[in-house]
Structure formats: structure tokens, C-alpha cells
Amino acid sequence: MEDLRPQILDFVANRMGSAPERLAPEVSLFDLGLDGDDALDFFEVFAERLSVDLAALDLGRHFGPEGAFNPFSLFADAFRRRRCEPVYVRDLIAAAERHRW
């Protein structure tokens, strides 16, 4: 089986504007700044490029909604972190290997 880790790390780095060597499988996408509509866009491209079936992925379980600026956004972000189940780079690697979420 092909080792998809380098390919996934490059994909995440390019999409998130980060250096691949700064990423690890234990990094969460939320910690990289992925949330809201950006998460939807990210996963659409991920699915297309890596032939991953995302039918079982519930983005609302992992990411918050996109919204206008809210003065309480710092508190909302902290709450969202507790409420949402994180998606890690390792989850992307596993999904790419299985070709399904």
C-alpha cells in the first residue's frame, strides 16, 4: 500500500498556507484555522483530489458554522473547541487510505 502521509501533509500545508515540515498527524485542522465554510471547501477538494467518499462525514460535528464578526467570537471559539470533535491530519491519512470517511 502506498504511504499517503507525505501527500496528505503537502495537501494540508498547501491548503492552509503552512510548511509541511511543521505538520504532524497529531495536528488538528481546527488548530490550523480551518472552520466554517473553509472546512467545506477544504473537504470538497480533499475528496476530489484523493478520491475519498465523504458520505459519512458530518462537517457540523467537527466544525462550526461560518458567521459574521461577533465581538464574543473568542468565547465562541473556546466553546466550539469543546463542542466539536476535532479532525486530525491522521484522520485525513486514514480516510485517503480507505478512500472513504
Q: What is the CATH number of the domain that holds 55?
A: 1.10.1200
Assess whether pLDDT exceeds 70 at residue 44. Answer: yes
What percentage of the chain exceeds 90 in pLDDT?
70
Q: What is the pTM of this model?
A: 0.82
Q: What range defines the domain where residue 94 resides?
A: 5-98
Per the structure, the count of domains in the chain is 1
Of the candidates 14, 81, 56, the one whose C-alpha atom is nearest the C-alpha of residue 6 is 14
Predicted confidence at residue 74, as pLDDT, reads 52
Among 11-15, 41-45, 75-79, 80-84, whose mean pLDDT is lowest? 75-79
Closest CA to 39 of 7, 80, 98, 69: 80
